[in-house]
């Protein structure tokens, strides 16, 4: 039952992010709170508030709700509403939201719609992770428009080396919490650092934070959907959480995209995990 409810929650999230807010809201409303974990109950409440037309002014956690509304409803908001929501965010959260809005516009095939979000970022002093994301978006914009884009200077062969080294030092010292915090700063900024994402998911699982691990991988795949390591990790994580249908969907994608020898080795891991889980005999 709980696995079905979790699947329903993330199905609604996918609907909302795909511009089907009314369907998402209906899914969330129909999910019984008693079957949701405390963290998912909170996320459900925030998502429903973000999808509503209620003003966020004066609400508790207004900044967080503004960010969620931009993520879930950007396609239905007029520019004035988007600008008002952006003004409620801290500088770092606003940068992340602008990158997200630009990415959505470009994924819709509109280089012009991305300009209001990319232009101010090109003038800003960004951290290395944000610079890499901006660089990729500008390249995508250039491909769509056929015009040269102004690109930020390269930040070195590995712009995330310092963050990764700091996380590994903390992990080696036995400070899992600090290591996870360091990795979280990195993984929330970019879905392309697969090693950091996989390590972060493993640490979440070690701390029994399976929902956080699942959400981390799910979000990364929204932007890096053809990553074989991320698909493999997502399949295993879905299996751990009882979301077998989602695990099977990932397996189907891996069957197409993963080299046969690698996929054969992965299936051995997958089946071993499947057999080790409670209730496996009934599957």
Identify the pLDDT of residue 13.
81
Q: Residue 150 pLDDT more than 60?
A: no
Q: What's the domain range around 262?
A: 158-282
pLDDT in tens, 72-84: 888 888 888 999 9
Identify the pLDDT of residue 279.
57
Long-range contacts of 125-129 (CB under 8 A, 24+ apart): 126/95, 126/152, 127/189, 128/155, 128/156, 128/159, 128/160, 129/159, 129/160, 129/163, 129/186, 129/189, 129/190
Instruction: Give the pLDDT band of residue 192 (cuts 50, 70, 90).
Output: confident
Q: Is residue 15 situated within a structural domain?
A: no
Q: Is residue 261 situated within a structural domain?
A: yes
Q: Is residue 205 situated within a structural domain?
A: yes
What integer best gives the mean pLDDT of the chain? 81
Q: Is residue 267 situated within a structural domain?
A: yes
> How far is it, in rounded angstroms, from Cα 91 to Cα 125?
11
pLDDT in tens, 41-74: 888 899 999 998 888 888 888 999 999 998 888 8
Q: Is residue 8 situated within a structural domain?
A: no
**CATH code for the domain in which residue 181 is found:** 1.25.40.10
Per-residue pLDDT, averaged over 181-208, amounts to: 79
- Provide the whole-model pTM: 0.55
Identify the pLDDT of residue 235.
94
* DSSP assignment of 1-18: -HHHHHHHHHHHHHHHHT
Q: Is residue 229 situated within a structural domain?
A: yes
Q: Is residue 191 situated within a structural domain?
A: yes
> How far is it, in rounded angstroms, from Cα 65 to Cα 34?
23
pLDDT in tens, 198-247: 888 888 887 788 898 999 899 888 878 888 999 999 999 999 888 988 99
Identify the pLDDT of residue 233.
94
Q: Residue 277 pLDDT more than 70?
A: yes
Domain total for the chain? 1
């Amino acid at each position: 039952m709980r696995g079905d409810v979790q699947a329903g929650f993330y199905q609604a999230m996918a609907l909302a992010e795909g511009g089907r807010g009314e369907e998402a809201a209906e899914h969330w409303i129909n999910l019984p709170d008693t079957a949701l974990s405390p963290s998912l109950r909170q996320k459900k409440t925030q998502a429903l508030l973000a999808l509503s037309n209620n003003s966020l002014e004066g609400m508790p956690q207004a900044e967080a709700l503004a960010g969620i509304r931009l993520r879930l409803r950007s396609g239905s908001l007029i520019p004035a509403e988007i600008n008002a929501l952006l003004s409620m965010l801290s500088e770092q959260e606003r940068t992340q939201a602008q990158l997200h809005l630009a990415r959505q516009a470009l994924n819709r095939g509109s280089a012009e719609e991305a300009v209001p979000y990319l232009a101010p970022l090109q003038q800003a002093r960004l951290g290395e992770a944000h610079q890499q994301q901006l660089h990729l978006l500008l390249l995508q914009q250039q491909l769509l428009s056929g015009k040269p884009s102004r690109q930020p200077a390269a930040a070195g062969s590995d712009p995330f080396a310092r963050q990764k080294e700091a996380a590994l030092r903390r992990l080696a010292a036995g400070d899992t919490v600090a290591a996870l915090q360091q990795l979280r700063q990195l993984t929330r900024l970019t879905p392309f650092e697969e090693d950091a994402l996989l390590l972060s998911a493993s640490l979440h699982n070690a701390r029994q934070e399976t929902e956080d691990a699942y959400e981390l991988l799910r979000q990364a795949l929204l932007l890096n959907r053809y990553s074989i390591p991320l698909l493999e990790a997502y399949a295993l994580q879905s299996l751990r959480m009882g979301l077998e249908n989602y695990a099977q969907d990932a397996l189907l994608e891996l069957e197409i995209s993963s080299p046969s020898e690698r996929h054969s080795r992965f299936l051995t891991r997958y089946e071993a995990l499947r057999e080790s889980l409670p209730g496996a005999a009934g599957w």
